[in-house]
Structure formats: C-alpha cells, structure tokens
Amino acid sequence: MADLIFYDKAAVKVTVGNTNEVLLASDCSVSFSSSVQPLYTIGRKGSLGQFPSAARAGEISFSFLTSITGEHDKQPGNIINYLASGIKGSINSNASGALIQVAGLSGTGFLSSYSFNVASNSVSTSSASFTLFGSGEVANNQNLNVPISGRLANSDFSPSTGANPAAATNSVLATGIGHGRFTNLDGFRTELTGPTSNGTIFGADYSISFNHNPIYKVGQEFPSCTYYTTASESMNITEDVFNSGLSFSGVDVGDVMLNVKGLDSSKQMQVGLSGLKQINSSASVGLDDIVRTQKTLVAAY
Amino acid sequence: MLGRITREAEKLTINGSGIQGVQSVSANYASQAQFLNNLGVNEIKYAPEGPQQATLDVNTLLTQLLPEGAGVDSRDPMLNYTGDLAFSGTVDHGSKAFQFTEGYLQSYSVSCGIGQIPQASSSCLIYGDFGTGLFGDFEQSDPIDQVLNVTSFSSMEINLDAFKTNRVLNFDVNIATPRIPIYAIGIDTPTGVIAGSPMEVNVNFQIQPDDYEIKNMRFVPEETVFKNTTITLKKNNSNDILLTYSFENMLLSSESFQGGVDSDASVNFSLRSFILR
C-alpha cells in the first residue's frame, strides 16, 4: 500500500527565482495529461492506433488564504501576487516559470491565472493556476524535462506566517491575512456629481490571466522556451451606486493602487492596476436585500 | 467570601430609561474568530469571519409602563422599537455594568393566561458595540414610572369578529421585525440597518368554546379572515386602558380541538398577518 499523505503534510511551496514561499493553501489539484488521438485510414475499419498529437502538459491549481506579510524582492504580499505583478510589468518576453511543489510532486509552471476576493467582514481568499509545459533545455536528466515529476510523499516544508513562527504550536491571530474588515477600497468607488453620490463598496473580485506561448522545435517534445505574451486584468466591484454614464469607449478610471490589508494595519499587499477602464455597469436585487450594483474594470498588458 | 449579585443589584436601562418589571434579561455575543485551516497546517491560526453581533433578550411583566401622554406609540417601551429606531443601553450588575449601542428589536411578544399578569418578551440584535470599556459616559437611568399600572387577565378585552360567548384561557401575540444589516468593506459595523418588510404578526388563542365553530379546512376567505383583532389590556380592576394590540385582516392559520373526559372542550386557533412598512 502506498503511503497515505494527510493534508497536514501536503503544503504547497512556490519558488520564483531566488525567493520562495509556502502558501496557506486550502486545496490543490495536480493534473498531467498526454494528448493522444486515434488515427484512421480509408480502407480500414479500426484505428491504426492512438498517437500523440501534442506534447504532454500539466496543470496545477490551488486556492489559498491571501497572506500579505510576505516580502519578495522588497514587494510586500504573497509570492503569487509578486509573480503576477512581475509578469504583467515585465518587458522581457522570455518567461522562466515558477517551481511548484506539493506532496512530493513538483514541476515548473507558468502562471495562467490568479485571482482573489475581498468581501466585508471576511477573510480574503486567492486562487492561482499554473500550466506546466516542461522544458527542453534541461537535457542531462530526462526526468527534469517532464512537466510534472515525483511521487506522493510528505512535504518537508510547512507554512510559517504566524505572528511568532517560533511558537508554531500556539494559537495565534492571523494578522498577516488579507481581510475585508481592514481593507479600504474607496479608490474604486463610483462617485457621481450633481447631486453628489459616493458609492459604498461591499466586495471586490480581482483576477488576471496570462497568455504564454511555448516554442516547440522539431525533434523535441518539450518547448525550447516559453514566451509571455499578454495579460488581461479585471476587477468586479459590488457597491450601491449605478453609473449610467457608461460611454462607447468605456469610462477611463486610470491608474489605481489596490491595497489589501489585514489585522495588522502596518502590512499590506499591493496590486497596481494601470490604464483601467470601466466597461460594465449592472444592478441586481433579490428578496430581503438592497439593490446592489456591479461594475467591471479591465486593464490589459 | 465571594459575593452574590442578586436581583436588587441588577438593572436594565434602555435609552436612559430604566426598564421596570424585568423578570429576566440575558445578553450574549459569540466570537467570530474561525480556525484557518490550510494544507501543511502546523499552527493554529484564527481570523474573524463574519460580522460581529450580540443579542439581548428581555422578559418583563407589564406592571409599570411609560406615562400616559409620553409622546410615544405604546406605553410598553420595547414595543416602540418595532420601527427604524435603534437604541442603546446598559445592564448593571452590582458595581459593574456593560453597555451596548445600536440595538434593534428583532421580535416582540406578549402573552397572558388566566391567573397571570401579562408578560412581554423582546429579542434584540446589537449591531454596534457591546461590552465594557469602549464607551463614553452613559446618561444616568431614570425608572420609566414608579407607579404600578398592573395589567391583568381579569380586566382585559379581546375583540374578534363575532366573538362574544367564548372564554379565553390564554393568548399570545408575536411580532417579528426583520432587520437587514448592510456591511461594507473596511468597517465592522453596518453602514445601515434596514427595517425589513413585511413584519409578520402571529396571534394564538386557547379558548373554551361555547358558540365558537371550527372553520372549514378548505380555504374560505370570508370565514378565515378576521377583519379586526384587538386585545386591550386594562389596569387591574379598572377601566383604564393601558395597552392595545390591534391588527386588521388576520388570516386564520390553524385550528385545533381538544376534548377529554376530565376537562372541558378547548380550541386553539392561530391568526397570522403581515404588516408592510
């Protein structure tokens, strides 16, 4: 019987360059797939067999508590936020990926999506998804080429984001977790004039997705390199003001800094959104509730 | 020796008025701190999850009421908070006290039976602060009225459509006043508390019937809607009206009949209506 790995020994560790973090993940899924398809010919009833039609690829996705006390290359916040900020702000297209390790499995992946939410009186949660193409440049050890390698085993690392890491077995208040109670999103509220009406924000969902382009060459399964191409960012804000002044080209919002804070108000995670445009306004109401409005802000990189 | 805090050292004050006739008062809050579990967990961490609220439950005998002409809708102080109004208050116990702000009535009920003094129960939600050490000085409380105005089963009147020759054993009135707190990002108290609509009113009676007839189970509007339901509480052995509970167009929601060898026949019936606001 294989070793049974309980969740407390299955921490998720992400390494980007020289910095790494063990995240406060609440779930994680790993998949690894081959792409094969049957081939048929005329004059033959059955298939010739099933043959590869694309390189093997993997995907790792996980959800985690939005930890804000980490610092990577002097940027406050968790490593996924650091990675996303770095990619969308990069001028270099050649992507190096991030090493993800969980329960003995590991692989180098490219961030395909990242999102988090902030809601009133609630702990903020994030999620991230990586696509793993493998690498054709690591030639000496064949196993290092594959997108995902390893076998299930207990992780030899664990999160250490408590107030006092030395007292790891004691109960601590998670001061380093993003929380809606302590986050101010007034910079995103709708403000109408004549008469003045300023929105009250009830929640916000942030997401960004990245496109990566693996470059394959003849004679090799895995890509020689992978290029980051584009990113699209969006933020859905729930508030109580409907802006009917949406224009044909959207409403310019400009550059806004999103600061996610937790119980320790001296710490914050920052997301810089550039060239934001509002492209959508909606309002909805259900029984026993007020009319709530939603607006979608988007940016592209 | 440890001291005891007995009833004479306990006091409930709401909006500066000392509530009289209190039979019981209970208040509580629960921490919203939730365990943050995660893969690879190696320490116990907590974080607040959800809004913090407290509750206050008060049970009073209707023996002392607000003075007549006090400029309020009802002489029972708690019944005046079925609307939008919030209240604050203090619970004194011995030399200690705790306070609360932004309290809203969530449900109110009054009940009485033969041989009893009418009793009112109020259940309140506290959306503001609750506890000690957070507040400025509260105004001193004054008892609402030291004069005894004891309501009594013997002098109350119940008026239902065509309801005359049946003996009421007990009744209760329950008013639910829903509250909808609206929480925004960045603040732990609601930015607003909406008085939900409609309010649901349930009135239950137990009677010993004389000419009362059980209605038809099939819905017959003219038989199952009481156009006027009024309960008038008067001062004991007097015609002085102290409190009136009056509702229109209440729907008969249930009836039950009980008969037995050692008791008179009795009928329980319930009325229900909704009040838009």
**Number of cross-chain residue pairs from A and B with Cβ atoms under 8 Å apart:** 132
Side-chain half-sphere CA neighbours of A268 within 13 A: 15
User: In residues, how long is chain A?
Assistant: 301
Q: What is the 3-state secondary structure (H, E, C) of chain A?
A: CCCCCCHHHCCEEEEECCEEEEECEEEEEEEEEEEEEEECCCCCCCCCEEEEEEEEEEEEEEEEECECCCEECCEECCHHHHHHHHHHCCCCCEECCEEEEECCEEEEEEEEEEEEEEECCCECEEEEEEEECCCCCCCCCHHHHCCCEECCCCCCCCCCCCCCHHHCCCCEECCCECECCCCCCHHHCCEECCCCEECCCCEEEEEEEEEEEEECCCCCCCCCEEEEEEEEEEEEEEECCCCCCCCCCCEEEEEEEEEEECCCCCCEEEEEEEEEEEEEEEEECCCCCCCEEEEEEEEEC
Give φ, ψ of A143 to 5 degrees. Answer: -65, -30
Q: How would residue A165 be classed by pLDDT, with cut points 50, 70 and 90?
A: very low
Element (H, E) at B230: strand B225-234
Contact B113, B53 (CB under 8 A): no
How far CA A102 is from CA of A62, B40, B116, in Å, comes to: 10, 10, 69
The DSSP output letter for B224 is H
Out of A4-18, A192-206, B15-29, B142-156, pick the least confident: B142-156
Query: What's the gap between Cα A71 and its chain centre?
Result: 17
Residue A48 pLDDT class (50, 70, 90 cuts): very high
- pLDDT score recorded for residue A30: 97
Lowest model confidence (mean pLDDT) among A156-170, A203-217, B215-229: A156-170
Chain A 21-80, residues with CB within 8 Å of chain B CB atoms: 22-28, 62, 64-65
Mean pLDDT of A33-48: 94
Does residue A299 surpass a pLDDT of 50?
yes
Prediction pTM value: 0.87
What tokens does B233 get? 């509480």
Interface check A171 vs B, CB under 8 A: yes
- Residue with token string 């508030």: A239
Residue A82 is classified by DSSP as H
Q: Report pLDDT for B110.
A: 92
Share of chain A above pLDDT 70, in %: 93
Mean pLDDT to the nearest integer, A216-220: 89
User: Which of B34, B38, B106, B189 to mutate to test binding with chain A, by most A CBs within 10 Å of its CB?
Assistant: B38
What is the pLDDT averaged over residues A232-246? 93
Smallest CA–CA separation between B98 and chain A, in Å? 24
> What does the alpha-carbon distance between residue A244 and residue A242 come to, in Å, rounded to a whole number?
6
How much is the average pLDDT of A271-294? Answer: 94
Using a pLDDT cut of 90, give the percent of chain A over it.
71
The C-alpha torsion from B229 through B230 and B231 to B235, rounded to 10°, is -170
What is the predicted pLDDT for the residue at A166? 47
- Put simply, the answer to whether A173 touches B33 (Cβ < 8 Å) is yes
Give pLDDT, residue B135.
64
At A144 the pLDDT is 52
A37 bridge partner residues: A51
Q: What is the pLDDT along chain B (277 residues), one digit of tens a residue?
A: 678 888 888 899 998 888 888 999 999 999 999 999 999 988 888 999 999 999 999 999 988 877 777 777 788 888 889 999 999 999 999 888 999 999 999 999 999 888 888 899 999 999 999 998 766 655 556 666 667 777 777 777 888 876 666 788 888 999 999 999 999 999 989 999 999 999 999 999 998 888 888 888 887 777 788 778 888 888 888 888 888 889 988 888 899 999 999 989 999 989 999 999 8
> Which residues in chain A are closer than 8 Å to B190, comparing Cβ atoms?
none
Q: Report the distance separating Cα B90 and Cα B58, nearest Å.
A: 13
Mean of the pLDDT values across residues A214-231? 91
Q: Which of B143, B57, B131, B139 is nearest to B101 (CA)?
A: B131
Q: Look at residue A242 in the predicted model and tell me its pLDDT.
A: 94
User: What is the model's pLDDT at position A164?
Assistant: 46
Q: In the prediction, which pLDDT does B24 show?
A: 95
Query: What end-to-end distance do the CA atoms of chain B give, in Å?
Result: 54
pLDDT for residue B145: 63
Confidence of residue A142 (pLDDT cuts 50, 70, 90): very low
Residue to test with chain B: of A65, A78, A181, A239, most B Cβ within 10 A: A181
- Give me the mean pLDDT over the A146-160 stretch: 88
Q: Does B83 touch chain A (CB under 8 A)?
A: no
Q: Where are the beta strands (DSSP E) in A151-239?
A: 172-173, 191-192, 197-198, 203-215, 225-239
Q: What is the pLDDT of residue A179?
A: 94
Higher local confidence (pLDDT), A15 or B211: A15
The residue whose two tokens read 């584009």 is A230
**Nearest to residue B137, comparing CAs of B184, B88, B87?**
B88
Please judge whether A181 and B45 are an interchain contact, meaning their C-beta atoms are less than 8 angstroms apart: no
Q: Do A182 and B186 touch (CB under 8 A)?
A: yes
With 50 as the cut, is the pLDDT of residue A169 above it?
no
CB-based contacts of A133, cutoff 8 Å, min separation 6 = A55, A57, A109, A110, A147, A212, A214, A222, A223, A226
Q: Quote the pLDDT of residue A141.
A: 52
Contacts of A179 in chain B (CB under 8 A): 47-48
Strands of A136-224, DSSP E:
149-150, 172-173, 191-192, 197-198, 203-215
Which residues make beta-bridge pairs with B261? none
Quick one: which of B98, B103, B111 has its CA closest to B80?
A: B103
SS3 of residue A86 by DSSP: helix
Place of tokens 């191409």: A229
B161-190 b/e (C-beta count within 10 Å ≥ 16 → b): eebeebebbbbbbbbbbebebbbbbbebbb
Q: What residues contact residue A15 under an 8 Å CB cut-off, 6+ apart?
A: A98, A99, A100, A101
Q: Cis omega (within 30 of 0) on the bond before A195?
A: yes
- The mean pLDDT of A60-70, rounded to a whole number, is 92
Is the model's pLDDT at A163 over the cut of 60?
no
